[in-house]
Amino acid sequence: MTNEVKTLTHFIGGQSVEGKTNEFGDVYNPSTGEVIAKVPFASADEVKEAIALAKEGQKKWAAMSLGKRMEVVLKFRNLLAERQEELLDLVSLESGKTREDALGEITRGLESVDLSLNAPHLLKGEYSVNVGGNINAFSTKSPLGVVAAIAPFNFPVMVPLAMTAMAVAVGNAVILKPSEKVPHSALFMSQLWAEAGLPAGAWTIVNGAKDAVNELLENPEVQAISFVGSTRVAEYVYQTGTKHGKRVAAFGGGKNHMIIMPDADLEQAASAFLGAAYGAASQRCMAISAAMPVGQETADRFVAIIKEKIEKLKVGPYTEKDVDFGPVISKESKEHIVNEINLGLEEGAELVVDGRNPAICESSEGYYLGPTLLDNVTPDMKIYKEEVFGPARIVVRVNELEDAIKLINSHELGNGVTIFTNSGAASRKFVNEIEVGMVGVNVPIPIPVGYYNFGGWKRSKFGEGHMFGPDTARFFTKTKTVSERWPEDQIEQVTFSFPSN
């Protein structure tokens, strides 16, 4: 079945706006390989116009009372929940996710909106009476102004909401540049913000590629940048944005390990690995990339159990109810993942399960890969060193927990890690010594809930901001500290000494 190819728009100044350039990108349904839409690529001049309108919209939005702003955010939240079936369809269509997985994403996105409803509490300043010399001191928090978010393809709803909900709630105008691969969801949310009563300009969508991104990074009116994507681009965004005086929180990739101790319930650990490693076709920055069983006997047993479970997984389109995961996002992504598997085999890894050519490829042009598992992967192999954003997972065998910790700590990425064990002592040692930002104990994907800060260590995150959590309020505001004294009737003597208490 061939879908009608739509021409999408930007969302600027509170309304849908057609692109002014002749540059468009194809948007695919990865489940079928069909082009479903064309998305306009904004020029630098178009982005400048959007920023100017955002600046005006921000003034109106910030001037509203906190109570009124929270009414708008709450209405947006309720509209999002009421119309989630429509959003589910869009997420599955443009990303290939199963409806169950898409629903989980939307639910987690709602957590970020829920947290943003606490903005009045998080914006409270401090007040001290008579800090010295009859001076009272207090602080206030103000929005930055116009801020930007550059979002990835793998979470069309959750990540944009995590990046923007608090930014909006504390009084900023947000310009969101969604991935050109998944623009439908962002445009849909734009309509909900408008219906909720957000002033024109306070929420903007500019679609595009490098020209649009560079204008956001360099334009002096944009005060902060939130980015999620590959480590290579995250570093570029951080360096370019900070060079131009902006706050930047740039989240990169992860090579997330699961340590399996000899005392762990291996059936439970294997089931946990299955979902954490292969869910969403492994296109998650917090997906488990590497199983790390401790001891050869543990490794042999674990690989035997997981092999049997992997071979039962079903890959297919989101329209089928019994599918475990869908396609990867693009033809180019599929080809890259296959090349990474092939190189791993050339470097000496052992093929346990081969997912390079699943049966569905005979009847569909979608970008399908089955689950692949490579055993006896060593730290010098490329497939261990780099993140593979697709269903190619690896087993790295170690002899002791100490060896596992040293190996993980020496990796350049430090997004997430987890351990499966029944030993409190092993857990304590692991939690205390591991150098990774998000840690799980018998938890397969240690993504914090919405009211805890999200962020990796090392080259998984550039900048000091976080996604999710109360730190987002700090990142998107600036603090003003006031020292206040009302003079007495008598004339005060002149003093040249440095003020002290």
Residue-wise pLDDT for 60-105, tens only, equals 999 999 999 999 999 999 999 999 999 999 999 999 999 999 999 9
In the predicted model, is pLDDT for residue 465 greater than 90? no
Single out the residue of 385, 291, 310 nearest to residue 347, CA to CA: 385
Indicate which residues carry an active-site annotation: 285
Taking the CA atoms of the chain, what radius of gyration do you get in angstroms?
25
Q: What is the mean pLDDT of the chain?
A: 94
Please name which of 6, 11, 42, 9 lies closest in space to residue 26, comparing C-alpha atoms: 6
Confidence (pLDDT) at 132: 86
When pLDDT is averaged across residues 39-62 and rounded to a whole number, the result is: 97
pLDDT(191) > 60: yes
**pLDDT value of position 29:** 96
For residues 38-53, average pLDDT: 97
Identify the band that residue 453 occupies on the pLDDT scale cut at 50, 70 and 90: confident
pLDDT above 90: percentage of residues in the chain: 87
Q: What is the pLDDT of residue 501?
A: 63
Q: What is the pLDDT of residues 223-255, one digit of tens each?
A: 999 999 999 999 999 999 999 999 999 999 999
Give backbone dihedrals phi and psi of 218, rounded to 5 degrees, phi first: -105, -20
Mean pLDDT of 406-427: 95
pLDDT at 500: 67
**Pairing mode of beta strands 127-132, 135-143:** antiparallel
Q: Residue 264 above 50 pLDDT? A: yes
Q: Give tens-digit pLDDT for 363-376.
A: 999 999 999 999 99
Give the pTM.
0.92
pLDDT tier at 54, thresholds 50, 70, 90: very high
- Give residue 491's pLDDT band: very low, low, confident or very high (50, 70, 90): low
Residues 464 and 251: their CA atoms lie apart, in Å, by: 10
Q: How many residues does the chain have?
A: 501
491 to 41, 180, 494: CA distances (angstroms): 65, 66, 9
- The tens digit of pLDDT for each residue in 176-190 reads 999 999 999 999 999
For 366, half-sphere exposure in the C-beta direction (CA atoms, 13 angstrom radius) is 29
pLDDT digits (tens, 9 = 90+) for 291-316: 999 999 999 999 999 999 999 999 99
Tokens standing for residue 343: 């190189």
Rounded-to-integer distance, Cα 18 and Cα 52, Å: 17
What is residue 3's predicted lDDT score, i.e. its pLDDT?
A: 60
**What confidence category does residue 1 fall into, taking pLDDT thresholds of 50, 70 and 90?**
very low
Q: Is there a contact between 155 and 182 (Cβ–Cβ < 8 Å)?
A: no
Question: Residue 419's pLDDT band (boundaries 50, 70, 90)?
Answer: very high
Q: Which domains are seen in the chain, by residue range?
A: 6-252+460-481 (3.40.605.10), 256-441 (3.40.309.10)
